[in-house]
Amino acid sequence: MNKKISVIIFERNVGSDLIRTINTVNNAAQRLSDLSYEIIVVDDGSSKKPIASDIENVPYVSRLVFLNDTVGISGAILEAVKVCKYENVLPVPGHNMFAEEAIVNVLKLVDQGEIVIGCRNNLAIERPPIKKLASRILRDVYRHLTFYYVGDIHGLILYKKQDLVEFLRPDGGHTNAISVVTPVLARGGRLIQTIAPINRGHDQRPSRRAIDSIPHPRNVLHVLGALKSARKIYRSSS
């Protein structure tokens, strides 16, 4: 039986990195003969819009969603979920972060669990120092407060569509993974994990900005609030 998945590529002001991401996802999906897939691109209110004609000429992009105003990662994913036709959903950042191997590893595990996490195994090499430290702190704090076996709460994560609809808050921003993974695991959902390497040289990507080297203070505050909520959910389930 064919596995089926909707891949959501969300982006804002990533320029040429978007096409690279689309090609990476398509190349990965093409390597799995038993996979039916669609690619949905959602532009989160970019100040410099992607060239629609360029994307429309890519035959394996099923749908384009252009948002007039920026709604954040969680909001953009939810807008794309509205047009997903498959039960399995894989959100992928459009700045060409994940290597083809990462996409393949996660796609191979479609229908194996309610949550599939691709853990960034080369995070220490390919991330800016401050963001690398922030990711490690978040990983360890999340594991301390909730489920100790979660390898990378901000990795490449495959969800069930109904779980995104139920648990993802439109204004959740960078807390999207915490807000969905936690309640799914708390109710006994099955977690499968694999490795998901970041592209070599990702820190030198064309769309990189100086501000991308450090976590945004607003995002830090949102994550702290999400961790507090995750702790409550975990304690209520144990």
Give the position of tokens 């994550």: 223
Q: Residue 159 phi/psi, 5° resolution?
A: -120, 170
| Residues ≥6 apart with Cβ < 8 Å to 88 | 3, 4, 5, 6, 110, 111, 158, 159, 160, 161
- Per-residue model confidence (pLDDT) at position 117: 98
Q: Which two tokens stand for residue 143?
A: 């594991």
Vertex 132: Cα angle to 126 and 135 (nearest 5): 125
With beta carbons less than 8 A apart as the criterion, state whether 129 and 135 touch: no
Q: What is the mean pLDDT of residues 75-89?
A: 97
Q: What is the mean pLDDT of residues 100-110?
A: 98
Helix boundaries (H) for 119-214: 123-126, 129-145, 161-167, 176-186
With beta carbons less than 8 A apart as the criterion, state whether 63 and 85 touch: no
Q: At residue 53, does pLDDT exceed 80?
A: no
Quick one: what percent of the chain has pLDDT higher than 70? 83
Task: List, in sequence order, every residue forming a beta bridge with 91; answer none if it has no partner.
Answer: 8
Task: Concatenate the DSSP letters of all residues of 69-103 into one string.
Answer: S--HHHHHHHHHHTT--SSEEEEEETTT-B-HHHH
- Per-residue model confidence (pLDDT) at position 129: 62
Q: What is the pTM of this model?
A: 0.90
- Per-residue model confidence (pLDDT) at position 130: 63
pLDDT classification of 36: cutoffs 50, 70, 90: very high
Which range scores top for mean pLDDT: 36-50, 91-105, 188-202? 91-105
Q: Residue 229 phi/psi, 5° resolution?
A: -65, -40
Q: At residue 216, does pLDDT exceed 70?
A: no
- Per-residue model confidence (pLDDT) at position 210: 47
Q: At residue 16, does pLDDT exceed 90?
A: no
Q: Residue 160 phi/psi, 5° resolution?
A: -90, 140
Q: At residue 203, does pLDDT exceed 80?
A: no
Q: What are the chain's domains?
A: 3-237 (3.90.550.10)
Q: What is the mean pLDDT of residues 120-135?
A: 69
